[in-house]
Structure 1
Amino acid sequence: MPDISSYLPYIWPAYLAYLITVLSPGPANLAIMTTAISQGRRAGLFIALGVFCGSLTWACAAALGLAALLRTYALALEIIKILGGLYLIYLAWKAYKSARKPDKDIALSEARAKQTAGQLWLRGYGIHITNPKAIFGWLAVISLGLPANAPPSAVALIVSIFSASSLTIFTGYAILFSTRHALRLYRAARRWIEATMAVFYSLAGIKLLTSRI
């Protein structure tokens, strides 16, 4: 039986590349940050868990070789890509409408409609699961971090280590951006933040819709 520790020299370079990707700004991280700022730590943590579960879903799919299957059935991948792009544009529209509302209307809206834990989780999961590039990102990480003859136990190790790190990062963002200082910043610059979100989500959605996978 091969020694798992012998694969560590392959894993570390891939791990550093993965950390840079997870830490960098993107639709998922932006959703976690803004939700934590505007709705508090609980909401931020639930959307972070949704994003993590979406990432874990793609990680398992890549580990099981489903990326190759999706490449074979290009239509299924194209449908996922279109749904992901449309979902990001929908989030952009919601952010745009929020940016145009006066502060008093925002306060009334928040008082009337509190999102449930399930709704927050689904929003985070939806952002990540409708991004087909995530599965190929995981496939690249596994390919970079392990040689072709790596045993299933080594694949499980890399998925476990990387997923634990992503969970820490996503929930860390939720905790960091749910502080009182962050809330004061959001209230002072709410319209600018929402407008920035609208632009960011629009660009990300258009890029996904027009990209070739």
Structure 2
Amino acid sequence: MPDIFSYLPVIWPAYMAYLITVLSPGPANFAIMGTAISQGRRAGLVIALGIFCGSLTWGISAALGLAALLRTYAFTLEIIKIIGGIYLIYLAWKAYRSARTADAALAGGAARTDYTARQLWLRGYAIHITNPKAILGWLAIMSLGLPADAPPSMIATMLGIFSTSSFVIFMGYALLFSTRHALRVYKSARRWIEGTMAVFYSVAGVKLLTSRI
């Protein structure tokens, strides 16, 4: 059986590409930042966990070869893409309504922040699981980092390293953007932040709906 460490020179470029993908701004990271800064650390951590679970789902699927199967049946990815685009536009609408709500009305309870852990987790999971780019990204990274003769232990090791990194990054964003300083910034610029979220989600949703898989 080949030594796992012998594959590290091959995995390294794929790992760097993966880190850039996970760290870069996108619907998932933006959702973590927005939730943590507006609803607190607990909410940010829970939605980050949901997003991580969505990423792990696609990662395991890619490792099992399901990604290639989905790519073969393109209509399945098209359906996922449409659902994901519509969901992002729905989030944009909610952010837009929040941005239009005056601070006085917000203090009176016009905006809801008492989401349950289950609702937050499902929101995070839905954001990531309905993005076909995530599974295609995992497929590309797996293809880049694994030679054709890679043993199952190497696939499991690669999945474990990459998933652990994404967990740390997602949770790190939640912790970073739930600090007191972040909360003060949010309170002073809440409507601008919500408006930016609305624009971001709208652009991401339209791009997803109009893009080709």
Q: Which residue of 1 aligns with 2:149?
A: 149
CA distance in 1, matches of 2:77, 2:23: 26
Corresponding letter in the other structure for 1:136 = L
Q: Does the aligned pair in 1 maintain the 2:10–2:146 contact within 8 Å?
A: yes
- 2:171 pairs with 1:171: yes
What is the CA–CA distance in structure 2 between the aligned matches of 1:180 and 1:110, rounded to whole Å? 23
What is the CA-CA distance between 1:111 and the residue it aligns to? 7.9
State whether structure 2 residue 96 is matched by structure 1 residue 104: no
SS in 1 for 2:149: coil
Structure 2 unaligned regions, length at least 5: none
Percent identical among aligned pairs is 77
1:88 alignment partner in structure 2: 88
- 1:67 paired with 2:67, answer yes
Measured in 2, the distance between the counterparts of 1:80 and 1:194 equals 26
Show the counterpart of 2:6: 6
The answer to whether structure 1 residue 16 and structure 2 residue 31 are counterparts is no
What is the CA deviation profile of residues 133-174 of structure 1, one whole-angstrom value per residue up to 9, with x for unaligned ones?
100100111111111111111111111000000000000000
Please tell me the residue identity of whatever aligns with 2:203: L
Residues of 1 paired with 2:16 and 2:112: CA distance?
44
- Structure 1, 177-186 or 108-117: larger mean CA deviation: 108-117
Cα distance between partner residues in 1 of 2:159 and 2:113: 37
Shift of 1:110: 7.0
Q: TM-score, normalised by structure 1?
A: 0.97
Please name the residue that 1:137 is paired with: 137
Matches within 5 A, 1:181-200: 181-200=181-200
Is the alpha carbon distance of 1:139 and 1:190 closer, same or farther for their aligned partners in structure 2, counting shifts above 3 Å? same
CA distance in 2, matches of 1:107, 1:156: 49
Counterpart CA distance in 2 for 1:139 and 1:112 is: 38
Change in 2 beyond 3 A, CA 1:172/1:131: same
How far residue 108 of structure 1 moved from its aligned partner, in angstroms, is 3.0
**1:45 matched to which residue of 2?**
45
Bigger mean CA offset, 40-49 vs 103-112: 103-112
Unaligned runs of at least 5 residues, structure 1 = none
Which letter does structure 1 place at the counterpart of 2:56?
A: L
C-alpha change, 1:110 and 1:64, in structure 2 (3 Å) is farther
Residue of structure 2 equivalent to 1:124: 124
Alignment correspondent of 2:205: 205
* Superposition CA RMSD, Å: 1.2
Task: State the shift of 1:69 in Å.
Answer: 1.0
Query: 1:53, 1:158 → 2: CA distance?
Result: 17
Q: 1:137 to 1:112 in 2, by over 3 A?
A: closer
The CA distance in 1 between the partners of 2:58 and 2:173, in whole Å, is 21
Report the Cα offset of residue 105 of structure 1: 2.0
- 1:77 offset after TM fit, Å? 1.2
Deviations 1:8-51 (A, max 9, x none): 11111111111111011100000000100010000000000000
Task: Give me the whole-angstrom Cα distance separating, in 2, the residues matched to 1:116 and 1:87.
Answer: 19
Taking structure 2 as the reference length, the TM-score comes to 0.97
